[in-house]
Structure 1
């Protein structure tokens, strides 16, 4: 998820959460990237000072109470809140990934099998919410985040108890997003039932599969008219054939004609299994697909020096993960006090170069003498240094060592210069440990 620096007027902390950057904003407030005292990342929602009044505080307090009562692996977890603060705030789990709307806009619609996997995941999550006596009432692509561990539902600001007809809005006032709103919700019918979330999920799956909604028009008022008109059928153009029966039922005009969420899960499973795939495989493919595209987009918009800013997103980019050529024991070994500066000492020319190390052909530098670490003396081998040969007893987690009696290895050909070097603190620390480990293992 993209984060921008704080503005001068933004608070630096709310409650026990330090604010690190801006994630996004809406009509009611701003969302910040925060961090707890223990280092837990959080999405911190704050009501704008211009709209803080008794009604907005009451609605915000209702959202807090709702989040306290629901849980699940596909619901962004509640972390803390204060509806009575001068700037009311709410902290939830930070999901590092784009929302569904941004993903489809950037990368195009999802394949049918992945759309069905998304439908099964979200229908099961909504079913758990309904079991707890709640409705979401504002399910839309912007409220589904595609994180590294799969999709998660956010923003229960309009959630309501299914058995209650009490509302914070005026008798004929409708609050929500019309493009995903069920006809009865758009018409102001109360109380609402679980069918409103079934319709909204169907509208969202239609968008995921085609890039458009059931009803689209130039203004929200025109969309309301199309949604509530019984003679205007939803636009299913472009829908893959295997998804048409599912979406036709979910987008039915009458609430009683829509399937239950359990039936939605079963129909999504049928679509997946008809392609010779199991539901668990489809779920993994969905997460891998969205995580890969999100990571690729993140690499394209991240500059080499972006990670030195105090407002960088959490967690660190996946490209900063250290390699596994050296075992954990090697990386934890102390650096000898008389060893040369790791930032200037190159890896020996006959050793494989880690993927994040600079190419020696790109940056020429003097070659300092590597200091032999304490230990028994190593017998010097006469003649040229032979190429690497794997030890049969090696478990594959360590670097290959030179083997005696073989001709010298050919020199590595210089490669074309690139500009993909990483400059994060973790990358420098990993490189330093790698070089120290190579120096300790060197047979000279």
Structure 2
């Protein structure tokens, strides 16, 4: 997880949460790493003062109400919120790890076994959301976080109640990510059905397995035409043969031709079983392969990734980062710094080979062998997950000082 220093204009605290750094941003708001008085980490989302108006507050309040409603093991939980504050904010469970977009950009596509496991996991999570009468409407690789306990879905800012045709979106306006958007959503049809999330999940699984989305174009008008044109088939190049039939069905032009989420789970299970694994074993391997090490602000000498430039949502690509190394201060015990490009160490299952190109041992506690590429893992000393609130505050202050020293203003 990239954690950038706070700027001199960022608040130091919101709703009782001490803000330690920036972990994401968009056109509407900023997301910070926060810490509760009791030391609980949180992702604190804030609407930018420059865009706060009555409609923005209403949309933000809707997101808060939806997050109060939705729940599940694969959903980032709401911790607290105040849509009437100035600025409006909400705090959700902090998930330590890369999003799927950054993970694929850094480590490459997932092997078929793990892509199928991801599909089954997210399909089950979306089924839980749908049972609560909700649609996500903006599932994409950047909204899937690969945490230490497995993947989780975030960002319900565009979610709506499935039975409602009412929307805060202005007439003839489409909101979402076009490269993961089904044709009916791109056309602005109302009301939408659960099939919109099935399509988006197909786009996510395709991306996980091949490294690209079903439609890609430099011009957004061309992209919308590709998505809505029945004669333009999605690009499934690079997808594993065993996943192509499922992906073809999930990315069907007509909503009624797409499978139910329960069928998606069963077909992903079938792919997993053809590799000689049980679904729980594949889930554990997915988590081992994708989970990330602890964030850098736990160390008194962190390497901090500077905030990336603003990006659009097309296509989903990770930002280019620059690195700022803080000068040394009085030595004190701290967890060993971790190479941010490496995946986690330690796991309930057997460790994969350090050589990304070499297969795993023939026999493991998870069953038969499978060639699952995994980057090397550096050794860790001590507990990399220990938090020290006093030291974190010192680190945050030093981050601000370094940021201020390098700022152009």
Aligned counterpart, 2:112: 112
Aligned counterpart, 2:165: 165
Aligned counterpart, 1:83: 83
Distance 1:156 1:318 in 2: 33
SS in 2 for 1:44: strand
Return closer, same or farther for 1:259/1:93 CA change in 2, 3 Å cut-off. same
Distance 1:126 1:266 in 2: 14
* 1:124–1:265 CA contact under 8 A, matched in 2: yes
* 2:186–2:227 CA contact under 8 A, matched in 1: yes
- For the pair 1:306 / 2:302, whether they are aligned, the reply is yes
* 2:198–2:260 CA contact under 8 A, matched in 1: yes
Aligned counterpart, 1:210: 210
Cα deviation code 1:26-73 (max 9, x no counterpart):
111000000112111000000011111111110000000000001111
* 1:133–1:163 CA contact under 8 A, matched in 2: yes
* 1:304–1:422 CA contact under 8 A, matched in 2: no
- For the pair 1:226 / 2:216, whether they are aligned, the reply is no
Return closer, same or farther for 1:84/1:141 CA change in 2, 3 Å cut-off. same
SS in 1 for 2:293: helix
* 2:187–2:228 CA contact under 8 A, matched in 1: yes
Aligned counterpart, 2:287: 287
Cα deviation code 1:94-126 (max 9, x no counterpart):
000000000000100000010000000000000
Q: Offset of 1:295 from its aligned partner?
A: 3.4
- Superposed structure 1 runs of 4+ greater than 6 Å apart: 301-304, 315-321, 419-427
Cα deviation code 1:149-200 (max 9, x no counterpart):
1000000000000000000011211000000001000000000000000000
Q: Offset of 1:318 from its aligned partner?
A: 9.0
Aligned counterpart, 1:185: 185
SS in 1 for 2:92: strand
Cα deviation code 1:375-424 (max 9, x no counterpart):
xxxxxxxxxxxxxxxxxxxxxxxxxxxxxxxxxxxxxxxxxxxx999799
* 2:146–2:290 CA contact under 8 A, matched in 1: yes
Return closer, same or farther for 1:162/1:425 CA change in 2, 3 Å cut-off. closer
Q: How does 1:145-156 map to 2 (within 5 A)?
A: 145-156=145-156
Q: How does 1:319-338 map to 2 (within 5 A)?
A: none
Aligned counterpart, 2:59: 59
Aligned counterpart, 1:348: none
Aligned residues: 323
Distance 1:165 1:45 in 2: 27
SS in 2 for 1:151: strand
Q: Offset of 1:305 from its aligned partner?
A: 2.1
Task: Flag structure 2 segments of 5+ consecutive residues without an equivalent.
Answer: 304-324, 327-333, 347-377, 389-409
Distance 1:282 1:212 in 2: 23
* 1:182–1:196 CA contact under 8 A, matched in 2: yes
Aligned counterpart, 1:392: none
**TM-score of the superposed pair, with normalisation by structure 1:** 0.68
SS in 2 for 1:23: strand
**TM-score of the superposed pair, with normalisation by structure 2:** 0.74
- The structure with more radius of gyration: 1
Q: How does 1:387-426 map to 2 (within 5 A)?
A: none
* 1:150–1:286 CA contact under 8 A, matched in 2: yes
Return closer, same or farther for 1:317/1:142 CA change in 2, 3 Å cut-off. farther
Cα deviation code 1:232-286 (max 9, x no counterpart):
0101111110000110000000000000000000000000001111000000000
SS in 1 for 2:230: coil
Aligned counterpart, 1:102: 102
* 2:134–2:162 CA contact under 8 A, matched in 1: yes
* 1:304–1:421 CA contact under 8 A, matched in 2: no
Distance 1:10 1:284 in 2: 39
Higher relative contact order (CA 8 A, sep 6+): 2
* 2:98–2:147 CA contact under 8 A, matched in 1: yes
Q: Offset of 1:222 from its aligned partner?
A: 1.3
Distance 1:195 1:50 in 2: 35
Aligned counterpart, 1:396: none
Return closer, same or farther for 1:244/1:85 CA change in 2, 3 Å cut-off. same
SS in 1 for 2:244: helix
Task: Flag structure 1 segments of 5+ consecutive residues without an equivalent.
Answer: 310-314, 324-418, 430-444
Distance 2:217 2:74 in 1: 32
